[in-house]
Amino acid sequence: MAQAFPKKPASPANAVPVVYAEKTPSTQSYLPEIIRGIGVSMSHFFRNTRDMLTGERPDPVTESLDIGITTIQYPEQKRPYPQRFRGVHRLTTRDDGSPRCVACLCCSTACPAQCIFIEAGEYEEGDKRRGYERFPVRFVIDELRCIFCGYCVEACPCDAIRMDTGLHPVPYDSRDQFIYAKKELLGLTARDGSHASANPRHEPGDPSHPGIDRDHH
Amino acid sequence: MPTFKLDGKTIPFEAGDSIIRAAEKAGVEIPHYCYHAGLSSPANCRMCLVEILPAANQRAMMLDIVEWDEKLGDYKAVRKPKLQPSCQFMATEGQEVLAETSTHVIEARAGVQEFLLLNHPVDCPICDQAGECKLQDYWLEHQKTPKRMHDEPVHKPKAVSFGDTIVYDAERCVMCTRCIRFMDEVAKDPVLDMRERGNLKEVIVAPGRKLEGHYTLMTEHVCPVGALTSKDFRFKARVWFLKTAKTVCQGCATGCNAHFDYDPRSNKALRYRPRDNEAVNKYWMCDEGMLSYRDVTSNRVPGALVGGKPVKLDRALEDAKKRFGSVQKSSIAFVLSAKHSLEDNLALFELAELCASRALYVTGAPDGYSDDILIHADKNSNTAGVKNLAPEAKSFADLLADASAGKVTHVIALGGAAPTEEVTALGRLEGLVTIAAHEGPITGAAHVVLPAAAWIESSGTFVNAKGMRQLAEKGTEPLGASEPGWKLVGKLAVAIGVEPSWTTLKDVRSMLVATSVPPPEPPSAEASAE
């Protein structure tokens, strides 16, 4: 079917004509350029074959500045992530294994993707933390909705949420597998395998804690 | 009206108004903690200090003080004016008051604020007041300096249970005594007091007592900081996630103005807060009213019911058609409800008119506890409105008598509530359709129940015991399959073969204006939401 295309607009008055290269027999025949191109390809081919046989590889982090084999065989080979890489979240724990999170919802408030859901609860009567803290009864992150901006980590006053797992979310089969609940988040560790955070915490009752009553006990 | 000048702005006042009150009425806020328009002024927080310029041919009261001089490296003697608490200082004609424009006042506010935060635990992340806390607001507005005291703050009792409704945290308390004064002056039950002095001071409940009665939650509401928190709302939500609808409490005929807070993300009702209205509830609400936000979900009609079994709305309307289709329209009796809005009642009243039926009855909840503060014995929110709409309507007892005598066979009712639990006479009816938001004796006896939206799920008008017409805004979305009552009345009208004269809320509202109900009076116009 004939199609009417919009007419090309008229050239503006201040248009400058394009200057093309001079047409000479060598550029017109293409041959010298084709040979030069094959030369570049072959030099890469031989250099890569040599590197592959000798096992030499450029540094993957600075590879873009380097020549040589830049392809990696993911997932068998992985690029090292930088120290500050923001991976999947984890919830840090205290010495007794309970989450450091006090369910203040600061992360949830800071989250631009609104992917954090927390339900706060109060400690049982008689618990030493009752009155001073609350804890997350439920803590859910939708990793599919998360944009990995790290605002939650910045917002956390307790260093309870971190993105230092070094993992990116695994491509799962279904969407609900991306919903990480408290159990999964507590199960993830830092790259060194620890559940704790770098910042010490002073619990009521510890010698380092200033005390919770008038006599500082 | 006499006037005075606050920072050069002319502020009118009535005799007996304090400076802060007059400014408040004129829309100028002077920061304060202990002052509350509905309570006495102890002037103990010192946040509302202002500089009052001396009258002509008078000298200002000056104080000799020493001030640290950075350049000199020593203290030097200076003179400063004596600042006055604006909550206790009465406004007088021609007076000149400086607040924002006085460096002394600005300095004093920052000083008071720093002093109040000296021993504050700064546990905002776990404090329910965060987001609506005066300490937070005023720190940002009047202090903005980091803490200078690096010693461990004084620790005081936390999470002290004051009763079944209130938890107290002495560390967060600024000792404004608002809660104490509220219990003394408004609730007339002086159960709270203070003990110790200085930074050891704390609020306590009288020995052997606990904070109880009908106005305990108000102590939490008057608390300007997070010292008192309600057990009901504790840890439920962060206030900045909530949305607010201006509504009217449905607990009794007083019709207290309230803010209804809900989480729009989960459509979950979370709390009531009183909305100031001098003409109705002043600044207060009772505990029963404050907790009645739960009625959004509790005891609700979940969906359309036929013979007590849940069905689709269409199926229920078909059943109603079967029962009412062949009946002579003028013989159908209509029961208005004092617990439903004027819009719902008007729609049903209009249907009765269209059916040419004169058999009108009124139902509602039975009377209950009352006091002379706020709580009305009539537990229906719209008794006066229904009475005005249909003055000739007979009582529920008459309906029961007429039903057992066989005078009434087919009834279309609004609401599930009835003044009595004993409704066996309704079992003799051949057809009983009710449009109800909440379950009650009538829904139990009804053949067909249509699920109406609760008061907060559709905008409605309510007339309180004083005859003031008040508008309640829509808050949460209707629960389940429920729809606004007036809409369901329209659908039911179509089902029984009558063409309703309204299709939208606007139609119902315009009919409302046309009826005999008086237009809003000046005080209620202030109360009704825009």
Domain boundaries, chain B: 3-116, 160-296, 305-527
| Residue entry with tokens 């237009």 | B519
Note whether B115 contacts A: Cβ–Cβ < 8 A: no
Q: What's the pLDDT score for residue A23?
A: 87
Q: What's the pLDDT score for residue B9?
A: 95
- Over residues A139-149, the mean pLDDT reads 94
Note whether A156 contacts B: Cβ–Cβ < 8 A: no
The CATH T-level fold of domain A90-187 is Alpha-Beta Plaits (3.30.70)
Q: Which residue of A has its CA nearest to B238?
A: A105
Q: How far apart are CA B420 and CA B445, in angstroms?
A: 13
Q: Pick from A180, A166, A11: which is nearest to A82 by CA? A: A166
Q: How far apart are CA B513 and CA B518, in angstroms?
A: 8
Q: Mutating which of A100, A108, A122, A154 best tests the B interface, going by the most B Cβ atoms within 10 A?
A: A122
Note whether A47 contacts B: Cβ–Cβ < 8 A: no
pLDDT tens sequence across B269-324: 999 999 999 999 999 999 999 999 999 999 999 899 999 899 999 999 999 999 99
pLDDT tens sequence across B4-48: 999 999 999 999 999 999 999 999 999 999 999 999 999 999 999
Q: Which CATH number fits domain B3-116: 3.40.50.300, 2.120.10.90, 3.10.20.740, 3.30.300.250?
A: 3.10.20.740
pLDDT tens sequence across A183-197: 999 999 999 999 988
Please report the ipTM that was assigned to this predicted complex.
0.81
Q: What is the pTM of this model?
A: 0.85
Q: How far apart are CA A20 and CA A25, in angstroms?
A: 15
Q: What's the pLDDT score for residue B523?
A: 43
Q: Which residue of B has its CA nearest to A125?
A: B159
Under-50 pLDDT residues of chain B = 519-530
Q: What residues in A contact B241, CB-CB < 8 Å?
A: 105, 109
Q: Which CATH number fits domain B160-296: 3.30.479, 3.30.70, 3.40.390, 3.40.50?
A: 3.30.70
Q: Which residue of B has its CA nearest to A102?
A: B126
Strands (DSSP E) contained in B374-490 are 410-414, 431-436, 448-451, 460-463, 469-472
Preceding peptide of A75 cis, ω within 30°: yes
Domain boundaries, chain A: 25-65, 90-187
3-state secondary structure of A119: strand
CA distances from B152 to A209, A213, B329 (A): 11, 11, 79
| Partners of residue B269 on adjacent β-strands | B262
- Is residue B90 within 8 Å of B19, Cβ to Cβ? yes
Note whether A121 contacts B: Cβ–Cβ < 8 A: yes
Note whether B156 contacts A: Cβ–Cβ < 8 A: yes
Q: Mutating which of B229, B238, B263, B268 best tests the A interface, going by the most A Cβ atoms within 10 A?
A: B238
Q: How far apart are CA A56 and CA B198, in angstroms?
A: 75
Q: What residues in B contact A157, CB-CB < 8 Å?
A: 125
Question: Cβ B158–A211 below 8 Å, yes or no?
Answer: no
Q: How far apart are CA B436 and CA B425, in angstroms?
A: 19
Q: Please name the amino acid found at residue B45.
A: C
Question: Cβ A216–B200 below 8 Å, yes or no?
Answer: no
The architecture in CATH of the region B305-527 reads: 3-Layer(aba) Sandwich (3.40)
A5 confidence band (pLDDT: 50, 70, 90): confident
Question: Cβ A130–B159 below 8 Å, yes or no?
Answer: yes
